[in-house]
Structure 1
Amino acid sequence: MPIFQVILLAIVQGLAELLPVSSSAHVVVAEKLMGLDPSSPQMTLLLVMLHTGTMFAVIVYFWKTWKEAYFSSMEAFNHFAVRVLWATAITGILGEAIKKLIEKTMFHGAPKAEIENLFGRLDLIAPALAAAGVLILIAGLYERRQLANVIPEMIPKDGLGIGNVTFGQSTWMGLVQGLALPFRGFSRSGSTISTGMLVGATKERAERFSFAMAVVLTPAVVGIEALRLEKAHRAAISAGAPIDFHGSITASLLGMVFSFIAGLVALKWLSIWLENGRWYLFGIYCLVASGVVFYLHTKGF
């Protein structure tokens, strides 16, 4: 893959990662517009590595608030660890169950059926974007209604952002993250943060916990995609058409670096949109983006 394409995809990923608009959907659409196959092992590994780059950007950006909320004491860390591991376990169980169900139903028992083969289908990304948009819109309107009823003098001295989500809130967020894993377009951050807000967490707490869940989950997803690429590489060798395995790894690592840089830049100025009661605007954006993606699908992309 040409270096400029890797860099362009990394920038798209980095700029879209903080926003609850499904960075995966944006990268997949960009790949389609460039004539690439988003479902190929090389592309799915690249996508995961781009997420890894922005994951490191998220760690750098959120580290101070994570220290205050999760590492201020052993008790705070234990509360956080239990919740994030529980949410991740729920995500893994539900995500794997949905993956197997889709592979057995949509592929009708076809050999080598993989849900990743559906990742390039814009007709599936469009409704996933719309579903995320509706959820974000509902949560955003709920937030505005709550803010309208807040009396400033009643806000705790530590603010609305410091502290942890409850065990029940982490459960719901883990469940929704499990739904987001198999479906490109169903924004992981948008759906989990919105769910946290709807079950009583402040947006700041839900946002912080959502990105912490992503950091815990990403290494496992990277490992799965690396194994998938290695398996495809062996199969291609047997067929006499080997994949440039090392070239794919190199391109993915380069993309990770650029997505890290782009993610840091985006995080520096985009977070203000998450702090001024404008969450619902992202829902509107997802609905509009859903229409654009479906239009591209009708044009043969």
Structure 2
Amino acid sequence: MTWFQAIITAVVEGLTEFLPISSTAHMKFAQAFMHVDPKDPFINMFDIVIQFAAILAVIVLYWKKFVNVKHISFYIKLLVAVIPSLIFGALLKKHIEHVLGSITIIATITVLGGIVLLFIDNFFKNQTITEEPQINNGRALKIGFFQILAIVFPGLSRSAATIIGGMASGLTRSLAAEFSFFLAVPTMAAATAKELLDTYKETPEVFHSSNNGMLVAGCLIAFIVSVVSIKFFITYLQKHGFKVFGVYRIIAGLIILGLALTNVI
């Protein structure tokens, strides 16, 4: 990976991490256009680590929530919600790596996820849960199980899966999005820790000064861009729905699928 490729990947990650369009899919699409080797162990590690850096933007923007130790029930909800993904993430690691190596599969999942988003606003109406304290552990666990869909189908979007899970549990669009952001913190922290450990055990040679500098820069860029992305998404959801994201996913997925099938990328 070159510095240019790393910067572009980090910007794409920051822009798409919190949108229901799959940041993983967009990073893989961008890397395919730039002819980045998908089998390079540093690439996989880079993608996951900068995702965690992007997620840290949530702590900055919602710091009062994350540093309020008196609000222990909030942390318990996150712990309950993250358990399913920790279990299935460990069990399906090889499956995830296989899917992430196929642009065709990711593009197909992107299109199918877009079709779902076209109708989500019609599926869930009269949502009654408007504040985080109203989310009980049962609802948190249900949202956590929805997150498994993003693990089984990389490219579906962790954000989309958990927001849909939240709305299916009675949360409003904006609250479902916020809880999705909160849940991303422990989820990506665990995924990053595991990826770093696995990479260090299997291919320690990737941890050299050039790669490390690239990784730090990628993290900073993804974090800064994510701060802007979160603010935009929450504001947009309060006024609009998911249909535009569904249309975008279908168009983008079909274009990428066509380019992949014709061996252009």
1:119 aligns with 2:100: yes
CA distance change for structure 1 residues 246 and 182 in 2, over 3 Å: closer, same or farther? farther
Task: Name the counterpart of 2:261.
Answer: 298
Taking structure 1 as reference, are residues 200 and 189 closer, same or farther at Cα in structure 2, changes over 3 Å only? same
Match of 2:140 among 170, 182, 186: 170
**Offset of residue 23 of structure 1:** 0.8
- CA-based RMSD of the aligned residues comes to 2.5
- 1:162-205 deviations in whole A, cap 9, x for unaligned? 53423232122111212212532110011110121022112222
Q: How does 1:145-160 map to 2 (within 5 A)?
A: 145-146=125-126, 160=130
Partner of 1:51: 51
Deviation at 1:7, TM superposition (A): 1.2
Name structure 2 gaps, 5 residues minimum: none
Please name the residue that 1:267 is paired with: 230
Structure 2 residue 150 is matched with structure 1 residue 138: no
Counterpart in 2 of 1:82?
76
What residue is the counterpart of 2:86 in the other structure?
Answer: 92
In structure 1, the partner of 2:26 is 26
Q: How far did 1:276 drift?
A: 1.1
C-alpha separation in 2, matches of 1:243 and 1:195: 37
Which AA in structure 2 matches 1:138?
A: F
Bigger Rg, structure 1 or 2: 1
Partners of 1:299 and 1:170 lie apart in 2 by 43
Distance 2:54 2:233 in 1: 14
* 1:140–1:277 CA contact under 8 A, matched in 2: no
The number of aligned residues is 264
1:213-235 Cα deviation digits (max 9, x unpaired): 1101222211222123223425x
Q: Secondary structure at the match of 2:126?
A: helix
Q: Which residue identity lines up with residue 208 of structure 1 in the other structure?
A: E
1:244 CA displacement: 6.0
Q: Is the 8 A contact 1:83 1:170 kept in 2?
A: yes
Counterpart of 1:248? 211
Matches of 2:160 and 2:21 in 1, distance apart? 7
What's the counterpart of residue 36 of structure 1?
A: 36
Matches within 5 A, 1:182-201: 182-201=152-171
Letter in 1 for 2:75: A
- The sequence identity of aligned pairs, in percent, is 29
Contact 2:174 2:234 (C-alpha < 8 Å) held by counterparts: no
State how 1:211-250 maps to structure 2 within 5 Å: 211-234=181-204, 243=206, 245-250=208-213
Q: Which residue does 1:151 correspond to in 2?
A: none
More moved, 186-195 vs 285-294: 285-294
How much has 1:13 moved relative to structure 2? Answer: 0.8
Taking structure 2 as the reference length, the TM-score comes to 0.88
Contact 2:118 2:246 in 1 (8 A): yes
